[in-house]
Amino acid sequence: MTTAPAIELKGISKSFGPVQANKDISICVMPGTIHGIIGENGAGKSTLMSILYGFYKADAGEIFIAGQKTTIPDSQAAIAAGIGMVFQHFKLVENFTVLENIVLGAEDSGLLRPSLARARRELKALADEYELNVDPDAVVQDIGVGMQQRVEILKALYRRADILILDEPTGVLTPAEADHLFRILENLKREGKTIILITHKLREIMDATDTVSVMRRGEMTATVKTADTSPAELAELMVGRKVLLQVEKAPAQVGATILDVQNLNVTDNKGVHRVKDVSFNVKAGEILGIAGVSGNGQSELLEVLGGYEKATGQILMNGTPIDLTGAKSDGRSRRARGIAHVPEDRQREGLIMDYQAWENVAFGYHHDPAFQSGMFMNHAAIKADTVEKMARFDVRPPDPRLAAKSFSGGNQQKIVLAREIERNPDLLLIGQPTRGVDIGAIEFIHQQIVALRDQGKAILLVSVELEEILALSDRIAVMFDGRMMGERMPQDTDEKELGMMMAGMTKEDAA
């Protein structure tokens, strides 16, 4: 007798309005294995898992759990079927304790105290069994993201999940924390749990999984044994064509110092000290890459340079100080000083999603005299400018009257990039340039950044993707907990060393 698969999906389809996110997907996961699902952003991975967790209802298809046909109309049913899910964005109540978060929804009775007491006992047992130590009385907002992720895993285990789905679990972790996570997953696998790992990182698939399925544009293109495949083959399956994993660029022709940051400190409006005594510079004709796990002060650094966060210390732009607290510490003044900014979150910052493309091309530059006629804004001039920019950056569809929200992630990013680069800035700030962008557009965006460098511009690149930092940067700095951990030249370092620096360790610590 053969064992039934832990999960089997047959012919799952799902549409959101006119968009078909999943097309006739079938997949089979054996118990006691780690199964990877890889694909680009928007390939439909998360939609598929949300269907399995009862978050969405599939338009067609069947689900079998341990050989039994199962319907999963809601999360309650998924939990009852033994499925637990760790979402990319944690679903925790931030001002509750760890214990309250674990108990929420799985209480024993109407009264809280007995439930909490039992959870406390069980948590201890789980912690001993799986290397999952957390302080049950800590308030979630006070613990780190790695710890919060453990809480999410514990939530699933407390509900007696046999199948654990993790959606992009390492995005917020340092390489060391990620390794710890994978050890935990190995432990769980040994205990007979089935694990589905969703990621877009080829390395994780190769390191951690037993089998892997590849998704592309809502379809399942292949399922293979991890041991029988290679990163290059998986990349090709993901994209549908051969891709260059390497950016081609000539050696940097470094010029004068453009940006000089000295002893910068940022305290946010909640009183948290975000950037601590940071100093660095960026020279003409080079790309300085700042590596680090998100939330270690890089965002605040960009916000200060972009003019919408206050700071103390000194920043020199082309040798003259810029205002960090006063009337000239705003985006308009920064732009006037030759600083262009492609922000980390284009949907919340870089674009007004309801504005048409042409309105977004004026965004931040709406004071430009070329865009005015008398008292009013010159809409015709802005539209003409937009048409040109869209053509040069190959934005599709090239329609200046289409709302920003109607473009794909890659094309939205191209609009922002066109707006900022075409201003011919001395310094380009660029955060997470390829987050949520398809591989085709990634290549284009990387080429544009390198081309700008080759024109002798200074570029400050912030990215949480270590591979991207290594591929683009001429010099690499690492931030951890608001501090600069040091600088390295890309040829003198590797992912391992940078990973340790991202976790706050120096070489001496490691030795």
Query: How near is the Cβ of 350 to other proteins at its closest, in Å?
Result: 7
Fill in the per-residue mask, 432 to 471: x = in contact with other proteins (CB under 8 A), - = not in contact: ----------------------------------------
Which of 25, 29, 85, 357 touches other proteins by CB under 8 A?
85
| Phi (first) and psi of residue 264, to 5 degrees | -80, 135
| Residues contacting residue 434 through CB under 8 Å, at least 6 positions apart | 413, 441, 442, 445, 446, 463, 465, 468
Q: How many chain residues touch other proteins (CB under 8 A)?
A: 69
Query: How near is the Cβ of 45 to other proteins at its closest, in Å?
Result: 10
Which of 32, 146, 331, 436 touches other proteins by CB under 8 A?
331
- In this complex, which beta carbon is closest to other proteins, that of residue 111 or of residue 511? 111
CA 321 centroid distance within chain: 33
Using alpha carbons, select from 279, 244, 243 the residue that is nearest to residue 261. 279
Q: Is 389 helix (H, G, I), strand (E, B) or coil?
A: helix
User: Residue 469: in which H helix or E strand, if any?
Assistant: helix 466-472
Which of 62, 219, 349, 495 touches other proteins by CB under 8 A?
349
Query: How near is the Cβ of 165 to other proteins at its closest, in Å?
Result: 11
Strands 458-462 and 427-431: parallel
Q: Is 79 helix (H, G, I), strand (E, B) or coil?
A: helix
Rg for the chain (alpha carbons), in Å?
Answer: 25
Q: Does 428 bind other proteins (CB under 8 A)?
A: no
Q: How many residues does the chain have?
A: 511
DSSP for residue 139 = B
Fill in the per-residue mask, 387 to 406: x = in contact with other proteins (CB under 8 A), - = not in contact: ----------------x--x
- In this complex, which beta carbon is closest to other proteins, that of residue 157 or of residue 501? 157
- In this complex, which beta carbon is closest to other proteins, that of residue 346 or of residue 475? 346
**Whether 219 contacts 230, CB under 8 Å:** no
- In this complex, which beta carbon is closest to other proteins, that of residue 117 or of residue 232? 117
Note the helical H segments in 131-270. 145-158, 175-190, 202-208, 231-239
Fill in the per-residue mask, 351 to 390: x = in contact with other proteins (CB under 8 A), - = not in contact: xxxxx---x--xxx-xx----x--xxx-------------
Distance CA(475)–CA(490), nearest Å, equals 6
Number of neighbours of residue 154 by Cβ within 10 angstroms: 24
| Window of 76-84, 206-214, 474-482, 491-499 that interacts with other proteins by CB under 8 A | 76-84
Q: Does 412 bind other proteins (CB under 8 A)?
A: no
| Window of 130-138, 316-324, 338-346, 489-497 that interacts with other proteins by CB under 8 A | 338-346
Start-to-end Cα distance in the chain: 52
- Which two three-digit tokens encode residue 123? 């948590």
- In this complex, which beta carbon is closest to other proteins, that of residue 175 or of residue 343? 343
Distance CA(473)–CA(256), nearest Å, equals 17
Q: Does 253 bind other proteins (CB under 8 A)?
A: no
Query: How near is the Cβ of 347 to other proteins at its closest, in Å?
Result: 9
- Which two three-digit tokens encode residue 440? 């085709």
Query: How near is the Cβ of 89 to other proteins at its closest, in Å?
Result: 8
Distance CA(104)–CA(33), nearest Å, equals 29
- In this complex, which beta carbon is closest to other proteins, that of residue 285 or of residue 307? 307
| Window of 109-117, 127-135, 250-258, 280-288 that interacts with other proteins by CB under 8 A | 109-117
Distance CA(75)–CA(73), nearest Å, equals 7
Fill in the per-residue mask, 11 to 50: x = in contact with other proteins (CB under 8 A), - = not in contact: ------xx---------------------------xx--x
Footprint of other proteins on residues 128-167 (CB under 8 A)? 155
- In this complex, which beta carbon is closest to other proteins, that of residue 227 or of residue 375? 375
- Which two three-digit tokens encode residue 269? 């409006």
Using alpha carbons, select from 149, 206, 221 the residue that is nearest to residue 178. 149
Distance CA(70)–CA(72), nearest Å, equals 6
Please give the residue ranges that form the binding site for other proteins (CB under 8 A): 17-18, 46-47, 50, 53, 55-56, 74-79, 85, 87, 89, 91-96, 100-101, 103-107, 109-113, 115, 155, 306-308, 330-335, 341, 343, 345, 348-355, 359, 362-364, 366-367, 372, 375-377, 403, 406
